[in-house]
Amino acid sequence: MGFTLLEMLVVLTVLALASGLTALALRDGASQRLEQEGVRLAALLEAARLESRTTGRTISWSVASPMRPSPAGQAADFQFGDGAPMATATAARPATHSAVNPPDPLQRLPRRWLHEGTQAEVIGARVVVLGPDPILPPQRIRLRLGREAVVIGTDGLGPFRLESGAPP
């Protein structure tokens, strides 16, 4: 009343195929974290681009320099600022806030990566310029986390987004 050898081999083959397909379907944790960083950065860039268009001022994004603190005086991995040369956002507006002089929306944007070890580089430039013109030059940013890399870019007309098949 047991199983035949053939039945056992069929069951083992099915289990081996199922576990092999499961292993292929699971994604590397680093690539998932990097994709999450890329989608978040694209959303932040679009928010800053919208702010630039509505206020009429030029906003830029760059990787923060470890030698220079962020405008808020906190540690930062990246920063938003006024103008193409990276001026601080606080330099454009006085530090006091009132109904006449509201706080700068750029100060509320995050400046840290979600995952430690994430690195970024602007491809072909020092900074990413986010307006106020409706048509921008094509711009790309490469994000790295460990051995994984993704590229976020815009053609200047469309929004920033993860580029599929981009070279690392």
> What does 31-87 look like in DSSP terms, one character per residue?
HHHHHHHHHHHHHHHHHHHHHHHHHT--EEEEEPPTTS--TTSS--SEEEEETTTTB
Q: What is the gyration radius of the CA atoms in the chain, in angstroms? A: 23
The DSSP element (H or E) to which 122 belongs, if any, is strand 119-123
Q: What is the pLDDT of residue 94?
A: 45
Omega before residue 132 within 30° of 0, cis:
yes
The DSSP element (H or E) to which 150 belongs, if any, is strand 148-154
Q: What is the pLDDT of residue 102?
A: 67
| pLDDT per residue as tens, the chain (168 positions) | 788 999 999 999 999 999 988 877 776 788 889 999 999 999 999 999 999 999 899 999 999 876 555 455 557 899 998 875 444 433 444 445 455 666 777 888 899 999 999 999 999 999 999 988 888 899 999 999 988 999 999 999 999 999 865 554
